């Protein structure tokens, strides 16, 4: 849904690194058998997986009505310098 970069925070706090996030705006993933999609970053999956699992098992309605669609969630990976926001929903 959105990719953000906080260049000021990166310049002030982050050590230079060669390879960061490979996510691209507009990408979509389908989770099958509870497995992380191969193109999804492991860190993002660690954040998304509990919500994906709950939705796959028929759950939802996180935080008592947080989302208009109770079978969805808006989540972000845990990279504070370049967070990626994901819209997760049940697909029939």
CB 34 within 8 A of CB 56: yes
Contacts of 29 (CB under 8 A, 6+ apart): 37, 39, 40
Nearest to 80 by CA among 16, 10, 2: 10
Q: DSSP label at 15? A: P
Domain ranges of the chain: 2-89
**pTM reported for the whole predicted model:** 0.85
In angstroms, the Cα distances linking 59 to 44, 54, 55, 64, 73 are 21, 5, 5, 12, 11
In tens digits, the chain (92 residues) has pLDDT values of 899 999 999 999 999 888 888 888 999 999 988 899 998 988 899 999 999 999 999 999 999 999 999 999 999 999 999 999 999 999 87
pLDDT in tens, 61-74: 999 999 999 999 99
């Amino acid at each position: 849904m959105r990719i953000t970069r906080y260049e000021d925070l990166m310049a002030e706090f982050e050590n230079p690194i060669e390879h960061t996030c490979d996510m691209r705006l507009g990408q979509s993933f389908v989770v099958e058998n509870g497995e992380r999609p191969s193109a999804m970053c492991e860190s993002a999956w660690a954040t998304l997986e509990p919500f994906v699992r709950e939705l796959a098992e028929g759950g939802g309605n996180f935080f008592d009505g947080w989302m208009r669609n109770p079978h969805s969630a808006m989540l972000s990976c845990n990279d504070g310098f370049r967070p990626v926001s994901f819209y997760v929903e049940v697909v029939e």
